[in-house]
Chain A
């Protein structure tokens, strides 16, 4: 896969480059800021751009750069890496796009397997959400959602958490050692309890429905 990297911390940038090379990816360029990334991609093509959220242009150059890149190259995947898993950033990321996009903690992509899995899923059009963040959203939904989420069975909560990470039915089935059919049944139950439309069959729409539900903006006047 062709990957472009923008990260202002030289130490982490070098480490990630080593890991990307070890995973067999082609690095089309690595830069220290958002503007440099836009300039780089004017001459080089990438399948996925990896962006630090907190880098120049300050304060959150990764996000503003991603908006520009999504406008210029809608097909290119975007992977945000950050020191912080914040729902605030997740919501801003989902405003930029809900396909071929990911948000992960920097230290959680520290193996060839995880890094490649993350990049592959993004390249295939999926959403990838840091499990810690998905877990927090499911366990601590916004105030008025608490009762509804509490009505889910333990297994349904597991399925919801994996859905919020952006996992496909097959992915969820693999993680929970059940059949994809069983996962479908759980998801139908979850959607029923949450009052979400079951016709959001497309994978990324489904994840989006779950995420927006869990962090409803309704209380913000």
Chain B
């Protein structure tokens, strides 16, 4: 995914968020060079520069999600209330007036649902707010997929940071994604921490998913390995991603 515009360079707070919050980061503002971005054609995707590039991309996704939340969503919600007010102030043909306003509000709800879907694809709000386990659970619920989720007991309180959590989430989301006529696979996902690595073991996936898992893990200096044995459709892949 290519973000709409580059993130403005700036200092990071200890939690990895750029200092100043989303309002400091113009969506369509002047193009500011990211710190130490490797020149075109250089060895991207590996080494420190590639890793930083990937990290920035994930942070950008999270910021875009927040902008959708604080901007468009809020404006449209307020509009819905104003329209509701208008309905009670109708000066003529009340039934018709109410009907029209009701339709407008339904329309606004539909717009918001679309915005939510976009936001979720950029960075799932629940992933930011509640962490990896709840976000994966919600996505499986949304798709009607059977999911067995095992989260190491100390983890609900401890987080891995937006970069590792984002990569791990989208790796699983990729496994759950199916064509409309297919049944989503029944997965077993376990999440734990091994020193400075997020370790996620996904069972019930096809060998073909190794590629997308590698795509998520490798740029961050992580790994993805398919366990020996198993069938082509019910393999076990272990992902390790360096985390906060």
By a beta-carbon cutoff of 8 Å, the part of chain A in contact with chain B is 9, 11-12, 14-16, 18-19, 22, 54, 59-60, 83-84, 86-88, 105-108, 110-112, 114-115, 136, 140, 142-144, 146, 215, 219-221
A18 touching B81, Cβ below 8 Å: yes
Asked if B85 lies at the interface with its beta carbon under 8 angstroms from chain A, I say yes
Interface of A: prevailing SS: helix
In the bound complex, residues from chain A placing their C-beta under 8 Å from that of B125 are 54, 83-84, 86
B148 touching A15, Cβ below 8 Å: no
A86 touching B78, Cβ below 8 Å: no
One of B77, B85, B101 near A22 (C-beta < 8 A): B85
What size tier do the contact residues of chain B reach? Answer: 35 or more
Asked if B173 lies at the interface with its beta carbon under 8 angstroms from chain A, I say no
Asked if B126 lies at the interface with its beta carbon under 8 angstroms from chain A, I say yes
Shortest beta-carbon distance from B188 to chain A in Å: 9
B77 touching A15, Cβ below 8 Å: yes
Shortest beta-carbon distance from B160 to chain A in Å: 15
Q: How far is the CA of A140 from the CA of B80 in the complex (A)?
A: 28
Shortest beta-carbon distance from B162 to chain A in Å: 12
Given A83-B73, A115-B84, A140-B143: 4 more A-B contacts, CB < 8 Å = A83-B125, A87-B138, A88-B130, A219-B148
Q: How far is the CA of A191 from the CA of B104 in the complex (A)?
A: 38
In the bound complex, residues from chain B placing their C-beta under 8 Å from that of A86 are 125-126, 138
Q: How far is the CA of A111 from the CA of B149 in the complex (A)?
A: 40
Asked if B27 lies at the interface with its beta carbon under 8 angstroms from chain A, I say no
A143 touching B147, Cβ below 8 Å: yes
B105 touching A110, Cβ below 8 Å: yes
Scan B78-105; emit 1 where CB is below 8 A from any A CB, else 0. 1111111101100000000000011001
Shortest beta-carbon distance from B96 to chain A in Å: 16
B84 touching A140, Cβ below 8 Å: no
